[in-house]
Amino acid sequence: MRKPYIFLIAMLSIMATSVSNAEEIVATPAKKNAIIVKLGAMTLSETEQTLLGSRATFEENSTSVFDVEYARKFGNNFSYGGEILHYKNAYSIFTQGDVETFVGTANIKKYFDVATYFQPFIGAGIGFSVVDVTGPIEGGAAGFAASASIGAEIPFDYVGIHLEYRYVSSTADGETTDGRRTVDFNVGGSALLAGVAIHF
């Protein structure tokens, strides 16, 4: 589990260095805001977990994977914004249930002007996860979340094609609905996302 954190730290270091060395640039009339809607595939990092003292098996492949992001570009090809990622995983512990996860993060990204219509980027974010659990375990949980991403956008005037790999690290802690038992979930994993960016 160390590699994702090393990846995240390395990207944050690269972006921090770029910001510290950046020269003041003149803003261009290009559209700076974007709303990006993405769909894709998500896989959990840990499919075998212990819940309330019993072994639970999670489906590795998530369902209902979608992502909505707002980003605003500023100097030196950076952007900041926020993002919400949703996914759901079935689990079994005697009987079957579902874990529905929302991950919200505040992000910063660094874009690279490789070509007019091809802009790779790296990014990182921090925020929180919220988990709703149904089935043999009923309750909710929340916890800290961190993410790292790498991808590219094919930008046009008003729209763009967005491709992204995103890693999410998060453990959510909560209580059962009766308030008598605590439960922990590792809801981290990897996502491959593709979508459309609307520029304005």
Residue 84 lies in a domain: yes
DSSP string, 90-155: EEEESEEEEEEEEEEEEEEEEE--SBTTBEEEEEEEEEEEEEEEESSS-EEEEEEEEEEEEEEEEE
123 close to 108: Cβ distance less than 8 angstroms: yes
Residue 27 lies in a domain: no
User: For the domain that residue 73 is a member of, what is the CATH number?
Assistant: 2.40.160.20
pLDDT value at residue 2: 47
pLDDT value at residue 59: 97
Per-residue pLDDT in tens (0 to 9) along the chain, 200 residues: 445 555 555 555 555 554 444 434 333 446 899 999 999 999 999 999 998 888 999 999 999 999 999 999 998 999 999 999 999 999 998 899 999 999 999 999 999 989 888 999 999 999 999 999 999 999 999 999 999 999 999 998 899 999 999 999 999 999 887 776 788 999 999 999 999 999 99
pLDDT value at residue 179: 72
pLDDT value at residue 7: 53
**Sequence-distant (≥ 6) Cβ neighbours of residue 193 within 8 angstroms:** 38, 39, 40, 65, 67, 151, 162, 163, 164, 165, 166
Cα 145 to chain centroid, rounded = 9
| Number of domains, the chain | 1
Structural domain boundaries enclosing 90: 2-22+32-199
The residue to which tokens 């009923």 are assigned: 138
